[in-house]
Structure 1
Protein backbone atom coordinates (compact mmCIF):
# COMPACT_ATOMS: atom_id res chain seq x y z
CA UNK A 1 0.00 0.00 0.00
CA UNK A 2 1.06 3.58 -0.70
CA UNK A 3 -0.26 6.79 0.81
CA UNK A 4 -1.32 9.28 -1.85
CA UNK A 5 -2.54 12.82 -1.27
CA UNK A 6 -4.65 15.43 -3.01
CA UNK A 7 -3.91 19.08 -2.22
CA UNK A 8 -6.71 21.65 -1.98
CA UNK A 9 -6.02 25.35 -2.51
CA UNK A 10 -7.82 28.66 -3.09
CA UNK A 11 -5.30 30.12 -5.50
CA UNK A 12 -5.07 33.80 -6.34
CA UNK A 13 -3.36 36.02 -8.93
CA UNK A 14 0.12 36.04 -7.35
CA UNK A 15 2.21 33.10 -8.52
CA UNK A 16 4.79 33.31 -5.73
CA UNK A 17 2.13 33.30 -2.99
CA UNK A 18 0.43 30.29 -4.57
CA UNK A 19 3.70 28.38 -4.79
CA UNK A 20 4.43 29.06 -1.12
CA UNK A 21 1.02 27.68 -0.17
CA UNK A 22 1.46 24.67 -2.46
CA UNK A 23 4.81 23.82 -0.89
CA UNK A 24 3.37 24.07 2.62
CA UNK A 25 0.64 21.58 1.76
CA UNK A 26 3.05 19.27 -0.07
CA UNK A 27 5.41 19.31 2.93
CA UNK A 28 2.56 18.49 5.32
CA UNK A 29 1.37 15.61 3.13
CA UNK A 30 4.89 14.25 2.68
CA UNK A 31 5.57 14.44 6.42
CA UNK A 32 2.39 12.41 6.94
CA UNK A 33 3.78 9.68 4.70
CA UNK A 34 2.43 10.51 1.24
CA UNK A 35 4.53 9.27 -1.66
CA UNK A 36 2.41 10.77 -4.44
CA UNK A 37 0.97 14.27 -4.13
CA UNK A 38 -1.39 15.90 -6.63
CA UNK A 39 -2.08 19.64 -6.91
CA UNK A 40 -5.34 21.17 -8.19
CA UNK A 41 -6.01 22.79 -11.55
CA UNK A 42 -4.66 26.36 -11.78
CA UNK A 43 -2.61 25.84 -8.62
CA UNK A 44 -0.03 28.43 -9.72
CA UNK A 45 -2.41 31.20 -10.76
CA UNK A 46 -6.08 32.10 -10.78
CA UNK A 47 -5.91 35.58 -12.25
CA UNK A 48 -8.28 38.52 -12.06
CA UNK A 49 -9.26 37.71 -15.65
CA UNK A 50 -8.78 34.80 -18.03
CA UNK A 51 -5.77 36.40 -19.73
CA UNK A 52 -3.59 37.02 -16.65
CA UNK A 53 -2.21 33.51 -17.00
CA UNK A 54 -0.94 34.28 -20.51
CA UNK A 55 1.52 36.78 -19.01
CA UNK A 56 3.17 34.06 -16.89
CA UNK A 57 3.06 31.17 -19.36
CA UNK A 58 6.28 29.19 -19.64
CA UNK A 59 8.14 27.52 -22.48
CA UNK A 60 8.27 23.76 -22.24
CA UNK A 61 11.20 22.75 -20.05
CA UNK A 62 12.03 26.08 -18.45
CA UNK A 63 10.49 28.58 -16.07
CA UNK A 64 9.97 29.18 -12.35
CA UNK A 65 6.78 27.11 -11.99
CA UNK A 66 8.41 24.09 -13.61
CA UNK A 67 11.50 24.60 -11.46
CA UNK A 68 9.26 24.71 -8.41
CA UNK A 69 7.57 21.41 -9.25
CA UNK A 70 10.87 19.67 -9.87
CA UNK A 71 12.39 21.17 -6.73
CA UNK A 72 9.61 20.18 -4.31
CA UNK A 73 9.44 16.67 -5.74
CA UNK A 74 13.15 16.21 -5.08
CA UNK A 75 13.16 18.05 -1.75
CA UNK A 76 10.34 16.00 -0.22
CA UNK A 77 11.11 12.80 -2.17
CA UNK A 78 7.57 12.49 -3.53
CA UNK A 79 6.00 12.12 -6.93
CA UNK A 80 4.25 15.40 -7.77
CA UNK A 81 1.38 15.74 -10.20
CA UNK A 82 1.34 19.42 -10.96
CA UNK A 83 -2.34 20.26 -11.35
CA UNK A 84 -2.29 22.58 -14.34
CA UNK A 85 0.00 25.47 -15.14
CA UNK A 86 0.09 27.86 -18.12
CA UNK A 87 2.44 26.69 -20.86
CA UNK A 88 3.19 28.30 -24.21
CA UNK A 89 0.61 27.72 -26.96
CA UNK A 90 0.69 28.29 -30.71
CA UNK A 91 -1.45 31.40 -30.32
CA UNK A 92 0.21 34.36 -28.60
CA UNK A 93 -2.92 35.12 -26.57
CA UNK A 94 -3.50 31.59 -25.26
CA UNK A 95 -1.89 28.96 -23.06
CA UNK A 96 -1.87 25.21 -22.82
CA UNK A 97 -3.31 24.02 -19.50
CA UNK A 98 -0.53 21.53 -18.80
CA UNK A 99 -0.37 18.96 -16.03
CA UNK A 100 3.26 18.00 -15.43
CA UNK A 101 4.38 14.92 -13.51
CA UNK A 102 7.69 14.70 -11.65
CA UNK A 103 9.21 11.68 -9.94
CA UNK A 104 10.79 11.66 -6.48
CA UNK A 105 14.17 12.66 -7.95
CA UNK A 106 12.66 15.77 -9.52
CA UNK A 107 12.72 14.41 -13.08
CA UNK A 108 9.81 15.22 -15.33
CA UNK A 109 8.20 12.01 -16.55
CA UNK A 110 4.97 13.14 -18.24
CA UNK A 111 2.91 16.03 -19.55
CA UNK A 112 -0.82 16.11 -20.19
CA UNK A 113 -2.55 19.09 -21.81
CA UNK A 114 -6.23 19.51 -20.91
CA UNK A 115 -8.38 18.23 -23.77
CA UNK A 116 -11.94 19.30 -22.94
CA UNK A 117 -12.39 23.06 -22.47
CA UNK A 118 -15.07 24.55 -20.23
CA UNK A 119 -17.25 26.64 -22.55
CA UNK A 120 -20.60 26.69 -20.75
CA UNK A 121 -23.37 28.81 -19.33
CA UNK A 122 -24.28 27.32 -15.96
CA UNK A 123 -28.06 26.66 -15.84
CA UNK A 124 -30.11 28.86 -13.48
CA UNK A 125 -27.09 31.07 -12.95
CA UNK A 126 -25.39 34.18 -14.32
CA UNK A 127 -22.11 32.26 -14.56
CA UNK A 128 -20.56 31.93 -18.01
CA UNK A 129 -17.20 30.44 -18.89
CA UNK A 130 -15.37 30.44 -22.24
CA UNK A 131 -12.13 28.66 -21.49
CA UNK A 132 -11.32 28.29 -25.19
CA UNK A 133 -10.86 32.08 -25.41
CA UNK A 134 -7.59 31.77 -23.51
CA UNK A 135 -6.70 28.07 -23.57
CA UNK A 136 -5.62 25.89 -26.48
CA UNK A 137 -6.91 22.32 -26.19
CA UNK A 138 -4.66 19.29 -25.98
CA UNK A 139 -5.08 16.31 -28.28
CA UNK A 140 -3.91 13.22 -26.40
CA UNK A 141 -4.67 11.32 -23.23
CA UNK A 142 -1.95 10.30 -20.79
CA UNK A 143 -1.34 7.05 -18.90
CA UNK A 144 2.02 6.49 -17.22
CA UNK A 145 3.87 3.92 -15.15
CA UNK A 146 4.59 4.85 -11.54
CA UNK A 147 5.73 2.86 -8.50
CA UNK A 148 2.10 3.03 -7.32
CA UNK A 149 0.46 1.63 -10.45
CA UNK A 150 -0.58 2.85 -13.88
CA UNK A 151 -1.81 6.43 -13.54
CA UNK A 152 -4.12 8.22 -15.97
CA UNK A 153 -4.30 12.02 -15.95
CA UNK A 154 -7.40 14.09 -16.66
CA UNK A 155 -8.37 17.66 -15.75
CA UNK A 156 -11.65 19.08 -14.43
CA UNK A 157 -14.12 19.25 -17.37
CA UNK A 158 -12.61 16.00 -18.75
CA UNK A 159 -14.44 14.32 -15.86
CA UNK A 160 -17.78 14.69 -17.67
CA UNK A 161 -16.75 12.52 -20.63
CA UNK A 162 -16.73 8.83 -19.64
CA UNK A 163 -15.60 7.74 -23.10
CA UNK A 164 -12.37 9.67 -22.51
CA UNK A 165 -11.43 7.26 -19.74
CA UNK A 166 -12.38 3.95 -21.33
CA UNK A 167 -9.29 3.67 -23.56
CA UNK A 168 -7.17 4.21 -20.45
CA UNK A 169 -8.47 0.95 -18.99
CA UNK A 170 -7.06 -0.88 -22.02
CA UNK A 171 -3.66 0.47 -21.00
CA UNK A 172 -3.84 -1.08 -17.53
CA UNK A 173 -5.21 1.92 -15.65
CA UNK A 174 -5.08 1.64 -11.83
CA UNK A 175 -5.50 5.26 -10.71
CA UNK A 176 -7.10 8.33 -12.25
CA UNK A 177 -5.81 11.70 -11.04
CA UNK A 178 -8.15 14.61 -11.84
CA UNK A 179 -6.85 18.06 -10.85
CA UNK A 180 -9.85 20.43 -10.91
CA UNK A 181 -11.29 23.85 -10.24
CA UNK A 182 -14.99 22.93 -10.16
CA UNK A 183 -17.29 25.89 -9.59
CA UNK A 184 -19.31 25.97 -6.41
CA UNK A 185 -22.63 25.47 -8.23
CA UNK A 186 -21.59 22.69 -10.59
CA UNK A 187 -19.56 21.04 -7.85
CA UNK A 188 -22.50 20.88 -5.47
CA UNK A 189 -24.58 19.22 -8.17
CA UNK A 190 -22.13 16.84 -9.82
CA UNK A 191 -18.60 16.64 -8.34
CA UNK A 192 -18.92 13.66 -6.02
CA UNK A 193 -21.30 11.64 -8.19
CA UNK A 194 -19.05 12.00 -11.25
CA UNK A 195 -15.89 11.07 -9.33
CA UNK A 196 -17.55 8.01 -7.83
CA UNK A 197 -18.96 7.02 -11.21
CA UNK A 198 -15.54 7.16 -12.88
CA UNK A 199 -14.07 5.04 -10.08
CA UNK A 200 -16.88 2.46 -10.20
CA UNK A 201 -17.15 2.06 -13.97
CA UNK A 202 -13.37 1.81 -14.43
CA UNK A 203 -12.76 -0.20 -11.25
CA UNK A 204 -9.93 2.10 -10.24
CA UNK A 205 -8.89 4.59 -7.59
CA UNK A 206 -9.62 8.28 -8.21
CA UNK A 207 -7.51 11.05 -6.68
CA UNK A 208 -9.23 14.42 -7.10
CA UNK A 209 -7.51 17.61 -5.88
CA UNK A 210 -9.81 20.61 -6.28
CA UNK A 211 -9.71 24.34 -5.78
CA UNK A 212 -11.86 25.12 -2.75
CA UNK A 213 -12.94 28.48 -1.43
CA UNK A 214 -13.40 32.14 -2.33
CA UNK A 215 -10.93 33.63 -4.79
CA UNK A 216 -9.77 37.24 -5.11
CA UNK A 217 -11.25 37.40 -8.62
CA UNK A 218 -14.73 36.78 -7.20
CA UNK A 219 -15.01 33.13 -8.12
CA UNK A 220 -16.04 30.48 -5.64
CA UNK A 221 -14.87 26.92 -6.12
CA UNK A 222 -16.41 23.84 -4.60
CA UNK A 223 -13.54 22.14 -2.80
CA UNK A 224 -14.38 18.71 -1.40
CA UNK A 225 -11.10 17.26 -2.67
CA UNK A 226 -11.36 13.53 -2.27
CA UNK A 227 -9.94 10.08 -2.88
CA UNK A 228 -12.35 7.37 -4.02
CA UNK A 229 -11.76 3.63 -4.08
CA UNK A 230 -12.75 1.23 -6.92
CA UNK A 231 -16.06 0.40 -5.21
CA UNK A 232 -17.01 4.07 -5.16
CA UNK A 233 -16.28 4.58 -1.46
CA UNK A 234 -15.01 8.04 -0.54
CA UNK A 235 -11.89 7.35 1.52
CA UNK A 236 -11.20 10.95 2.51
CA UNK A 237 -12.72 14.36 1.75
CA UNK A 238 -11.67 17.93 2.62
CA UNK A 239 -14.56 20.35 2.30
CA UNK A 240 -13.23 23.89 1.97
CA UNK A 241 -10.10 26.00 2.27
CA UNK A 242 -6.44 24.98 1.95
CA UNK A 243 -5.53 21.49 3.09
CA UNK A 244 -5.17 17.97 1.81
CA UNK A 245 -6.70 14.52 1.85
CA UNK A 246 -4.78 11.25 1.90
CA UNK A 247 -5.50 7.55 1.68
CA UNK A 248 -3.84 4.21 1.07
CA UNK A 249 -3.79 3.05 -2.54
CA UNK A 250 -3.80 -0.73 -2.32
CA UNK A 251 -3.01 -2.34 -5.68
CA UNK A 252 -3.47 -5.85 -4.27
CA UNK A 253 -7.01 -4.98 -3.20
CA UNK A 254 -7.64 -3.46 -6.61
CA UNK A 255 -6.54 -6.62 -8.38
CA UNK A 256 -8.64 -8.84 -6.10
CA UNK A 257 -11.68 -6.63 -6.67
CA UNK A 258 -11.27 -6.77 -10.44
CA UNK A 259 -10.89 -10.55 -10.34
CA UNK A 260 -14.00 -10.98 -8.19
CA UNK A 261 -16.08 -8.42 -10.10
CA UNK A 262 -14.75 -8.54 -13.70
CA UNK A 263 -17.09 -5.96 -15.22
CA UNK A 264 -14.34 -4.61 -17.46
CA UNK A 265 -14.06 -8.05 -19.11
CA UNK A 266 -17.81 -8.24 -19.67
CA UNK A 267 -18.08 -5.21 -21.94
CA UNK A 268 -19.76 -5.70 -25.29
CA UNK A 269 -19.65 -3.16 -28.09
CA UNK A 270 -22.51 -2.16 -30.38
CA UNK A 271 -22.37 0.02 -33.45
CA UNK A 272 -25.45 1.58 -35.06
Structure 2
Protein backbone atom coordinates (compact mmCIF):
# COMPACT_ATOMS: atom_id res chain seq x y z
CA UNK A 1 0.00 0.00 0.00
CA UNK A 2 1.11 3.56 -0.67
CA UNK A 3 -0.29 5.03 2.54
CA UNK A 4 -0.83 3.91 6.13
CA UNK A 5 -3.01 5.45 8.83
CA UNK A 6 -1.11 5.39 12.14
CA UNK A 7 -2.25 6.24 15.66
CA UNK A 8 -0.42 7.13 18.87
CA UNK A 9 -2.18 6.35 22.16
CA UNK A 10 -0.89 8.50 25.04
CA UNK A 11 -1.70 7.35 28.58
CA UNK A 12 -1.04 7.95 32.25
CA UNK A 13 -0.75 4.29 33.21
CA UNK A 14 -0.91 3.28 36.87
CA UNK A 15 0.01 0.18 38.86
CA UNK A 16 -3.54 -1.19 38.41
CA UNK A 17 -3.54 -3.33 35.30
CA UNK A 18 -7.29 -3.70 34.81
CA UNK A 19 -7.86 0.08 34.88
CA UNK A 20 -5.08 0.53 32.33
CA UNK A 21 -6.59 -2.17 30.12
CA UNK A 22 -10.01 -0.50 30.15
CA UNK A 23 -8.47 2.83 29.13
CA UNK A 24 -6.51 1.13 26.35
CA UNK A 25 -9.67 -0.46 24.98
CA UNK A 26 -11.49 2.88 25.02
CA UNK A 27 -8.80 4.87 23.25
CA UNK A 28 -7.81 2.16 20.76
CA UNK A 29 -11.45 1.72 19.75
CA UNK A 30 -11.79 5.49 19.25
CA UNK A 31 -8.62 5.61 17.13
CA UNK A 32 -9.79 2.69 14.99
CA UNK A 33 -13.13 4.39 14.41
CA UNK A 34 -11.15 7.41 13.18
CA UNK A 35 -9.51 5.20 10.56
CA UNK A 36 -6.30 4.02 12.21
CA UNK A 37 -4.82 0.83 10.77
CA UNK A 38 -1.66 0.73 12.94
CA UNK A 39 -2.22 1.68 16.60
CA UNK A 40 0.76 2.05 18.94
CA UNK A 41 0.62 1.98 22.75
CA UNK A 42 3.37 3.39 25.00
CA UNK A 43 5.94 1.61 27.16
CA UNK A 44 4.71 0.13 30.48
CA UNK A 45 1.18 0.40 29.15
CA UNK A 46 -0.53 -2.15 31.40
CA UNK A 47 1.60 -1.75 34.52
CA UNK A 48 3.61 1.29 35.59
CA UNK A 49 5.41 -0.43 38.44
CA UNK A 50 8.91 -1.79 37.88
CA UNK A 51 8.95 -3.92 41.02
CA UNK A 52 5.61 -5.49 40.09
CA UNK A 53 6.67 -6.61 36.61
CA UNK A 54 7.79 -10.08 37.57
CA UNK A 55 4.68 -10.77 39.64
CA UNK A 56 2.42 -9.77 36.76
CA UNK A 57 4.38 -11.76 34.19
CA UNK A 58 4.16 -14.89 36.37
CA UNK A 59 0.45 -14.52 37.14
CA UNK A 60 -2.67 -15.79 35.37
CA UNK A 61 -3.40 -12.15 34.50
CA UNK A 62 -0.58 -12.19 31.94
CA UNK A 63 -2.43 -14.41 29.50
CA UNK A 64 -5.70 -12.59 30.11
CA UNK A 65 -4.16 -9.27 29.08
CA UNK A 66 -2.54 -10.67 25.94
CA UNK A 67 -5.74 -12.51 24.98
CA UNK A 68 -7.85 -9.37 25.46
CA UNK A 69 -5.46 -7.31 23.35
CA UNK A 70 -5.38 -9.93 20.59
CA UNK A 71 -9.17 -10.05 20.53
CA UNK A 72 -9.31 -6.24 20.40
CA UNK A 73 -7.00 -6.15 17.36
CA UNK A 74 -9.07 -8.82 15.63
CA UNK A 75 -12.38 -7.13 16.44
CA UNK A 76 -11.18 -3.77 15.12
CA UNK A 77 -9.18 -5.25 12.19
CA UNK A 78 -6.01 -3.36 13.09
CA UNK A 79 -2.33 -3.87 13.75
CA UNK A 80 -1.85 -3.18 17.46
CA UNK A 81 1.54 -2.59 19.08
CA UNK A 82 1.96 -3.10 22.83
CA UNK A 83 4.76 -0.60 23.50
CA UNK A 84 6.15 -2.82 26.24
CA UNK A 85 4.92 -5.49 28.59
CA UNK A 86 7.00 -7.73 30.90
CA UNK A 87 7.83 -11.27 29.82
CA UNK A 88 9.50 -13.98 31.93
CA UNK A 89 10.61 -15.83 28.81
CA UNK A 90 13.24 -15.03 26.23
CA UNK A 91 12.47 -15.17 22.53
CA UNK A 92 13.78 -18.74 22.43
CA UNK A 93 11.29 -19.73 25.16
CA UNK A 94 13.74 -20.02 28.06
CA UNK A 95 12.47 -18.87 31.46
CA UNK A 96 14.48 -16.01 32.95
CA UNK A 97 15.91 -17.30 36.22
CA UNK A 98 17.36 -14.06 37.59
CA UNK A 99 14.04 -12.76 38.93
CA UNK A 100 14.03 -10.08 36.25
CA UNK A 101 11.90 -9.82 33.08
CA UNK A 102 12.33 -8.87 29.47
CA UNK A 103 10.73 -5.55 28.53
CA UNK A 104 8.93 -6.81 25.45
CA UNK A 105 7.20 -5.00 22.59
CA UNK A 106 4.47 -7.09 20.94
CA UNK A 107 3.07 -6.58 17.43
CA UNK A 108 -0.43 -8.07 17.07
CA UNK A 109 -1.92 -8.55 13.59
CA UNK A 110 -5.51 -7.92 12.43
CA UNK A 111 -6.24 -11.62 12.85
CA UNK A 112 -5.20 -11.44 16.50
CA UNK A 113 -1.95 -13.35 15.99
CA UNK A 114 1.48 -12.37 17.31
CA UNK A 115 3.50 -11.12 14.34
CA UNK A 116 6.71 -10.10 16.08
CA UNK A 117 8.28 -9.26 19.44
CA UNK A 118 11.22 -7.05 20.30
CA UNK A 119 12.97 -7.10 23.68
CA UNK A 120 14.39 -3.76 24.85
CA UNK A 121 18.17 -3.66 24.40
CA UNK A 122 19.24 -0.48 26.23
CA UNK A 123 18.34 -0.10 29.91
CA UNK A 124 17.75 3.21 31.67
CA UNK A 125 20.32 3.23 34.51
CA UNK A 126 20.79 6.97 35.05
CA UNK A 127 20.58 9.90 37.45
CA UNK A 128 17.91 12.53 36.73
CA UNK A 129 17.21 15.83 38.47
CA UNK A 130 13.62 14.97 39.40
CA UNK A 131 11.76 13.60 42.43
CA UNK A 132 12.83 10.04 41.66
CA UNK A 133 16.48 11.09 41.48
CA UNK A 134 17.78 7.91 39.87
CA UNK A 135 16.56 5.01 37.76
CA UNK A 136 18.00 1.51 37.60
CA UNK A 137 16.05 -0.56 35.09
CA UNK A 138 18.66 -3.33 35.14
CA UNK A 139 17.52 -4.30 38.65
CA UNK A 140 14.21 -5.59 37.28
CA UNK A 141 14.82 -5.90 33.51
CA UNK A 142 17.18 -8.15 31.58
CA UNK A 143 18.42 -6.65 28.28
CA UNK A 144 17.18 -8.28 25.11
CA UNK A 145 19.29 -9.97 22.47
CA UNK A 146 20.97 -7.72 19.92
CA UNK A 147 18.41 -8.43 17.22
CA UNK A 148 17.01 -5.39 15.39
CA UNK A 149 13.48 -6.16 14.24
CA UNK A 150 11.51 -4.94 11.21
CA UNK A 151 7.93 -6.07 10.60
CA UNK A 152 5.66 -5.61 7.56
CA UNK A 153 2.46 -3.62 8.14
CA UNK A 154 0.34 -3.34 4.99
CA UNK A 155 3.44 -3.04 2.83
CA UNK A 156 5.27 -0.60 5.13
CA UNK A 157 8.48 -1.79 6.77
CA UNK A 158 8.22 -0.86 10.45
CA UNK A 159 11.30 -0.81 12.73
CA UNK A 160 10.86 -1.60 16.42
CA UNK A 161 12.48 0.02 19.46
CA UNK A 162 11.63 1.09 23.02
CA UNK A 163 12.24 4.38 24.86
CA UNK A 164 15.93 4.66 25.93
CA UNK A 165 16.92 2.95 22.66
CA UNK A 166 16.29 6.28 20.93
CA UNK A 167 19.60 7.64 22.32
CA UNK A 168 21.58 5.01 20.39
CA UNK A 169 21.54 5.87 16.67
CA UNK A 170 23.38 2.72 15.59
CA UNK A 171 20.24 0.65 16.30
CA UNK A 172 18.16 2.81 13.97
CA UNK A 173 20.78 2.72 11.25
CA UNK A 174 20.60 -1.07 11.36
CA UNK A 175 16.80 -0.88 11.12
CA UNK A 176 17.13 1.44 8.11
CA UNK A 177 19.57 -1.00 6.50
CA UNK A 178 16.90 -3.68 6.92
CA UNK A 179 14.51 -1.47 4.93
CA UNK A 180 12.62 0.33 7.69
CA UNK A 181 10.37 3.16 6.50
CA UNK A 182 8.61 3.88 9.80
CA UNK A 183 10.42 3.74 13.16
CA UNK A 184 8.39 3.19 16.35
CA UNK A 185 9.53 4.59 19.70
CA UNK A 186 7.02 3.69 22.44
CA UNK A 187 8.30 5.27 25.64
CA UNK A 188 7.93 6.36 29.24
CA UNK A 189 10.30 9.33 28.97
CA UNK A 190 10.63 11.22 32.24
CA UNK A 191 9.41 14.82 32.26
CA UNK A 192 12.89 16.26 32.78
CA UNK A 193 14.66 14.22 30.09
CA UNK A 194 11.68 14.50 27.77
CA UNK A 195 11.57 18.27 27.96
CA UNK A 196 15.30 18.37 27.24
CA UNK A 197 15.68 15.76 24.51
CA UNK A 198 12.49 13.99 23.33
CA UNK A 199 11.74 16.14 20.29
CA UNK A 200 15.39 16.48 19.30
CA UNK A 201 16.04 12.74 19.42
CA UNK A 202 12.93 11.81 17.45
CA UNK A 203 13.70 14.39 14.77
CA UNK A 204 17.32 13.27 14.56
CA UNK A 205 16.39 9.61 14.08
CA UNK A 206 13.99 10.66 11.31
CA UNK A 207 16.49 12.92 9.51
CA UNK A 208 19.53 10.66 9.63
CA UNK A 209 17.62 7.56 8.50
CA UNK A 210 15.11 9.34 6.23
CA UNK A 211 12.23 7.49 7.87
CA UNK A 212 8.94 8.42 9.47
CA UNK A 213 9.29 8.28 13.26
CA UNK A 214 6.36 7.76 15.64
CA UNK A 215 7.18 8.49 19.28
CA UNK A 216 4.43 7.31 21.66
CA UNK A 217 4.96 8.44 25.25
CA UNK A 218 3.40 8.12 28.66
CA UNK A 219 2.30 11.39 30.29
CA UNK A 220 1.53 12.93 33.68
CA UNK A 221 2.08 11.78 37.27
CA UNK A 222 2.04 8.00 37.79
CA UNK A 223 2.86 8.16 41.50
CA UNK A 224 4.31 10.70 43.92
CA UNK A 225 7.77 10.48 42.32
CA UNK A 226 7.32 9.54 38.67
CA UNK A 227 6.23 12.06 36.03
CA UNK A 228 6.45 11.46 32.28
CA UNK A 229 6.57 14.02 29.51
CA UNK A 230 3.90 13.11 26.97
CA UNK A 231 4.19 15.01 23.66
CA UNK A 232 3.72 11.89 21.53
CA UNK A 233 4.69 12.94 18.01
CA UNK A 234 4.98 11.91 14.38
CA UNK A 235 7.97 13.12 12.35
CA UNK A 236 8.42 13.02 8.58
CA UNK A 237 11.57 11.72 6.83
CA UNK A 238 12.55 15.40 6.45
CA UNK A 239 12.45 15.81 10.23
CA UNK A 240 9.27 17.90 10.27
CA UNK A 241 6.87 17.38 13.16
CA UNK A 242 3.60 16.41 11.48
CA UNK A 243 1.43 15.99 14.56
CA UNK A 244 1.84 16.03 18.33
CA UNK A 245 -0.09 15.69 21.57
CA UNK A 246 0.51 17.77 24.70
CA UNK A 247 0.80 16.49 28.26
CA UNK A 248 -2.61 14.85 28.73
CA UNK A 249 -3.89 11.37 27.82
CA UNK A 250 -5.37 11.07 24.35
CA UNK A 251 -4.57 9.96 20.82
CA UNK A 252 -4.03 11.16 17.28
CA UNK A 253 -4.46 9.52 13.89
CA UNK A 254 -2.42 10.54 10.86
CA UNK A 255 -1.85 9.10 7.40
CA UNK A 256 1.69 8.64 6.15
CA UNK A 257 2.57 8.30 2.46
CA UNK A 258 5.40 6.44 0.76
CA UNK A 259 5.62 9.21 -1.82
CA UNK A 260 6.93 11.59 0.89
CA UNK A 261 9.60 9.10 1.87
CA UNK A 262 10.62 8.45 -1.75
CA UNK A 263 10.81 12.18 -2.47
CA UNK A 264 13.07 12.76 0.52
CA UNK A 265 15.42 9.92 -0.35
CA UNK A 266 15.54 10.82 -4.06
CA UNK A 267 16.34 14.48 -3.45
CA UNK A 268 19.03 13.80 -0.87
CA UNK A 269 20.23 10.18 -1.12
CA UNK A 270 22.23 10.30 2.11
CA UNK A 271 22.05 6.58 2.80
CA UNK A 272 23.79 5.81 -0.50
CA UNK A 273 26.48 8.45 0.22
CA UNK A 274 27.72 6.74 3.39
CA UNK A 275 31.47 6.15 3.61
CA UNK A 276 31.56 4.40 7.01
Change in Cα spacing, 1:242 to 1:123, as seen in structure 2 (3 Å) is closer
How many residues get paired? 265
- Residue 193 (structure 2) pairs with residue 186 (structure 1): yes
- 15, 36, 39: which one pairs with 2:41? 39
Which residue number corresponds to residue 152 of structure 1?
159
Which residue number corresponds to residue 67 of structure 2?
67
Q: What is the distance in 1 between the residues matched to 2:23 and 2:132? A: 31
What are structure 2's unaligned runs of at least 5 residues? 90-95
- Residue 107 (structure 2) pairs with residue 105 (structure 1): no
8 Å Cα contact 1:12-1:217 kept in structure 2 = no
Secondary structure of the residue aligned to 1:178 is strand
What are structure 1's unaligned runs of at least 5 residues? none
Q: What is the distance in 1 between the residues matched to 2:224 and 2:257? A: 39
Q: What is the distance in 2 between the residues matched to 1:173 and 1:267? A: 17
8 Å Cα contact 2:38-2:80 kept in structure 1 = yes
Q: What is the distance in 2 between the residues matched to 1:125 and 1:138? A: 28
Q: TM-score, normalised by structure 1?
A: 0.93
Secondary structure of the residue aligned to 1:84 is strand
Which residue number corresponds to residue 198 of structure 1?
205
Q: What is the distance in 2 between the residues matched to 1:122 and 1:244? A: 28
- Provide Cα deviations, 1:192-233, integer angstroms capped at 9, x if missing partner: 000000001000001111001111353100000011111111
Q: Give runs of aligned pairs for residues 42-57 of structure 1, distance below 5 A.
A: 42-47=44-49, 50-57=50-57
8 Å Cα contact 2:43-2:217 kept in structure 1 = yes
8 Å Cα contact 1:98-1:114 kept in structure 2 = yes
Which residue number corresponds to residue 248 of structure 2?
241
8 Å Cα contact 1:10-1:213 kept in structure 2 = yes
Instruction: Kindly state the Cα deviation for residue 240 of structure 1 after the two structures are TM-superposed.
Output: 1.4
Between 247-256 and 70-79, report the one with greater CA deviation: 247-256
Q: CA RMSD in A?
A: 1.5
- 203, 213, 223: which one pairs with 1:216? 223
Which residue number corresponds to residue 80 of structure 2?
80
Could you list the structure 1 runs, at least 4 aligned residues long, displaced by more than 4 angstroms after superposition.
123-126
Secondary structure of the residue aligned to 1:201 is helix
Which residue number corresponds to residue 128 of structure 1?
134
- Provide Cα deviations, 1:46-93, integer angstroms capped at 9, x if missing partner: 12xx2112110159xx71221122111111111001110011141352
- Provide Cα deviations, 1:1-32, integer angstroms capped at 9, x if missing partner: 22101110000011110010011110111011
